[in-house]
Structures are given as C-alpha cells and as structure tokens.
Structure 1
C-alpha cells in the first residue's frame, strides 16, 4: 500500500510517498521525498497538494502526518505551526480516506530503532548505547522531546510537551535574561530560550541588558557571528543557549534515565556542533547532584533531523495498520 507520510514543523514540511518494504519487515521504502518551506504555502492542504502534483502518479488514499503540537479532537494544538491544522479539512480537501496525525517528536522517537540512531555525531557520555530507554530532544522553531522505551516485541513511545515547562535559570546572567523577558514575572516556557527563535531572543536580551542595539536579525546570523567570533553578544548568546539546552536535556533525562541514548535532533544543532561540543552543555547536563553518576552513563549524540520524522511517522502508521488488520481478523474468526 502506497501512502503519504509527512513531518510538518514550524519552518519546513518534509513529505514522502512511501510503502512497506517487501523484503524487510518493519522497514519503509521511500518512493519520493521533498522538503518545502511552510511559509511558501497558504495552508497545509496547499503544501500537500504541491507534493501530490509533483510526485504522485497513482491514486493515494491514506496519509500520516507528524505535526508539531498535540492532537486535540480533530485539530492540532500548537503555537509554532504557520497555519491551523484540521484533520477533517485535510481529508475532505485532498480526497483522502484517512488522515492520521501524531506528534512530530513522537514520530522521531519511532525512528530511533531505524536509521536515526546510526546517523549521529557523539557529543558526550559513553560512546555506545545501553539497554534502557532512549530520548529524542530537538530545538527548532519550538522545542520537543519524546522517549522510546524498548519492549519484548515492539517498543513504546511516550510523547511530551516538555518544551512548555517553565524555564529555570541557572546562572545570574540567565536570571537577568529571564527578568528582561518577563519584567513583571509570570510564565516563560523553556522553548522561548531553547529554540531557534529563542537564540535570537537571548542575543537581543543580552544586547539590551548591556545598553547596546542588536544588529543581527536571525538565529542563523547569530550562530554565524558566534562561529566567526565577530560579535561578543552572539558568542555569549550561543554559549548561554547551549548551557540552557544542557540543563533542560538533563532534567528530561532524569525522568526517563535514557541509557539507550539521548539524540539531539535538528539541522540547527548540527550547524553549531563544534560550538556545542566546547560549551557548558555536558556540565549542565550532568547537574551537580547525586544523580550526576547516573547521568554520566547516558550517551548523547547530535543527529540531523532530515527524513527521520517522516520515517518514524510511516513506521508508526504501519504499526497501527497492522494492529487494525489483526483486530479485524480476530473479530472475523470469533
């Protein structure tokens, strides 16, 4: 069965035409794959129609989408997607029999036992995976996290909205940034600091705190200036970002004890790998408490996001499809 699989983030939409691999049970064969900038389309329907027009030559009636956010009823609730996402609208406008939706980091976690685990660069901790749970964390347009817990036959994925947790400053400088963000106090989610837009926010805050006018307008410009050491505030912003990412990842790791590995996903982190490697990430990940010895057993890699979300969504959908067929067969036999 051919079906569409997509990974729709706040910046890019990854879409593929896929099917189950005949000779490799559980694997997915990709027939066509494209990446589209979300800002170029007025709706998710238009983005998917572009892929269908470009790549699909036979009728397709099923689609699975990994989307930033959580599915509530028939709608995906998220502040980082560029347009509303409603399942019934997609199904009707695209003429599909079924549109299934899951969280984007849930999809990435389903890809851990596929190609994702083999594609990373080692950041810290042991160089080999242990037998325990695994964790995928990714700062992009927002901040996501999900855990994969291996099982006897197939693993279980636990999705989270960890990026919406309150930001907890560690250093005095981080407290100043938080006060600049919320001078009257109140809720500041950690993704307002630990994300691509968050990096730009940090840079702007540091400039304002030091009485200077910010001159860099995008996260990419900040990382480029930091890598070239052209701007002290850009260098400090990236350092603060990496440290805060370490604290956040360590906090989530304490919940799951992922000796199977932590995978930091996304092209954003890959682009600053050397800066991340020489930052305070590891020290902040390990924390300064008795749990340090446990977290030291957790390997951490940085991996490109790429098509892994699409692969994970397709893997999840094939599992759901197989489970439905099995239940239908059991019902018929009864």
Structure 2
C-alpha cells in the first residue's frame, strides 16, 4: 500500500488527510490514517501547515509518515498546477510544494473538480436519490452545487475511467420563466445597477439572501424581528471580507422549522430556481450516469428538495419532460466528498 496526502484547502479552513491507498483493477481502496482540520489564515502557506500536520500524525499513529504523493483541492482557479486562493493571500505552486515537502508528485486541483472525482468513492449512505431514473453505464455524469457560488461540471468516461471537467456554467444568464421571476430579474438589475444577472446571483448562498430581500421589499409578508436583524447586519457588512452572520443559513433553518412564512417562501422559490438550472444542465449533457447535487445548501435542506419542487422545476422542459424524468438525480450528503476526491486523485498520480 502507498501512503499519500490529501487536502481540501479553502480561505477559511483546510482539512488534511494522511491515508494508505491500494489499487485493485480499476478500484482504489483508501485506508485513512490521520485527519485534522486547520484555520487557513493561521499559516503563511500550505507547506508549514502540512509539516505541522505530519508531526501531529507521527504522534497519533506511532510512526513517521512517509507519503510519496499528494493532491490538494483548492478554492480557486488552478492553472498549470498553480493557484492563488480566492479568499487568502496564498500563491500555491505544486512543484514548489513537492520540493519543499520532499514528495515525488503533487497535484493541485479546483475544489469542484475534486468533488467530481470524489463521486467514485461515495458509499450508498453518502447520497440520497431524489429520482432513480434510468441509469446507463459509462454515460456522462453532471454535477451542480450551490454554495458560496454555483459550481457546475461534468464527468466523461474515457480510457476505462471517468475524467472530470470544470465549467463556468454558474455564470450563464439567469433565465426567468414567469412573471415573478421577471420581477426578480428587474429587482436585481436595479438594486445592483448592472444589466446582466447570472444564474449564480439567485442559485447560491447569496441568492437565498437576494430572494429574501426581493420578497421582503415586495411586502409579500411581514418579517420576523430576529431574521430581520440578521439580514440587516449582513447588509451593513456589505463589502467586508469577513461577515459576522450567515443569513442564508438562518433563512434556511427558519424555513425548515416552519416558523417564518417569508423564509419558507424564499426557500421554495430558491429550490424552484435550483431545479430549473439543474434541468438546463441536464439538457446540455444528458447525464444518464447521474446528476449529482453537491454543496452544503442541498444537504442541509434535503427535506425541501424531497418535497418535489426541485424535480418539478427540473422536469418542466416542455417536450423534453419525459427525457428529464429518466435522468437519475442524487444529493451528495458527504460533505468531505472534495477531500475524498483529492485522495483518490493522489492515489492515481
């Protein structure tokens, strides 16, 4: 078995994993040895963090770690094995990290690409199937994930295994389908003083807040004082890198608990828009290998997605409805899927 390092690296936190990997045929078996979580900003670079991790791992497992290769998923664009983190002043270079740590190979990959590779390693309990569909072996797989932004990607079966390709699909145009959504489009254009609204503006964490503000300002129903205070705090902190509140999470929780009508209507419209965009992605890729919904928003709001609004919007594609109803749709529940993907990728270096 070969020792390897994997990391899920973000501007706020980084999770590191030491594991052993064994490849049998086209399958890789991972044996985790040690895992730890770090506050990214407490380190000047990834290398000293990894060195600290290896020292802790040595104490925990009772022997000196000897990884030969590593893969780190990065919250930012990766070009030629280099990346500048989106929310942290780290300039990472895979070759430099390899030399500094004395490894044989190091690969950096975009965090959403890592999610794609992690799909292969998911256990049955790591996913919830919204629609069984009619899966086909070796067919394309689609991934969509609303979080800070809206990630989209796809997997194509090549040379006996799936390979992941990123896209910038979250930055395509928001396409309203009814009068309410046209009003939402106009509201955002006026509020933000921009002509073009991307789908990421409404299907993401910030999208949840935008929808709430839109419904609030239309005076659809009154605000709860506690929710209003969180949203107002977030509005006052506009432009700041670090926010003290997470209104998207608060709105989602209040909706799930059924204690706030405005939050409930916000999340229902959000799920509707999310499903519609998932359907757009599915039309372009025909992912009979499965459409996987990633990101914390989906997992935390699973009852909402299970209620049927997501699938109704996804399938509402006119003459293409029967096709949409044949596509398998799964929600990823394992929030460490990116770390898993990085580990599987490291094993194949």
Distance 1:229 1:46 in 2: 46
Cα deviation per residue 1:88-139 (whole Å; 9 max; x = unaligned)? 397289635453111222222222232256621121352x632222122211
User: How far does the alpha carbon of each residue in 1:21-75 deviate from its partner, in whole angstroms, 9 at most, with x for none?
Assistant: 2668523222122344557767655654553443354354643111233213464
Residue 301 of structure 1 pairs with residue 308 of structure 2: no
Task: Give SS of 2:323's match.
Answer: helix
Residue 57 of structure 2 contacts residue 65 of structure 2 at CA under 8 Å; is this kept in 1? no
Aligned equivalents of 1:308, 1:13: Cα separation in 2: 14
CA distance in 2, matches of 1:69, 1:150: 25
Equivalent-residue separation in structure 2 for 1:88 and 1:151 (angstroms):
28
Find 1:192's aligned residue among 186, 201, 223.
201
Structure 1 distance, partners of 2:14, 2:217, is 34
Q: Does 1:205 align with 2:234?
A: no
Q: Is residue 2:333 matched to residue 1:284? A: no
1:95-114 aligned within 5 A? 95-97=101-103, 98-114=105-121
Q: Structure 2: any 5+ residue segments left out of the alignment?
A: 59-63, 232-246
Matched with 1:129 is 135
Unaligned runs of at least 5 residues, structure 1: 322-334
Residues in 1 aligned to 2:119 and 2:47: alpha-carbon distance in whole angstroms? 29
Farther-moved stretch of structure 1 (240-249 vs 306-315):
306-315
Distance 1:240 1:37, change over 3 A: farther
Aligned residue for 2:6? 5
Q: Which residue of 2 aligns with 1:242?
A: 271
Deviation at 1:279, TM superposition (A): 4.7
The structural deviation recorded for 1:9 is: 4.4
1:69 aligned partner: 76
Matching residue of 1:255 = 284
Kindly tell me: are residues 178 and 155 of structure 1, through their superposed partners in 2, closer, same or farther at Cα, counting changes over 3 Å?
Answer: same
- Cα 1:152–1:243 change in 2 (3 A) is same
Matched with 2:147 is 140
Residue equivalent to 1:51 = 53
Contact 2:127 2:334 in 1 (8 A): no
CA–CA distance in structure 2, aligned partners of residues 271 and 35 of structure 1:
21
Residue 26 (str. 1) matches residue 31 (str. 2) = no
Partner of 2:127: 120
* Alpha-carbon distance, 1:287 to partner: 2.6
Moved more, 262-271 or 179-188: 179-188
TM-score normalized by the length of structure 1: 0.82
TM-score (norm 2): 0.79
What is the aligned residue count? 317
Supply the RMSD in Å over aligned alpha carbons. Answer: 3.0
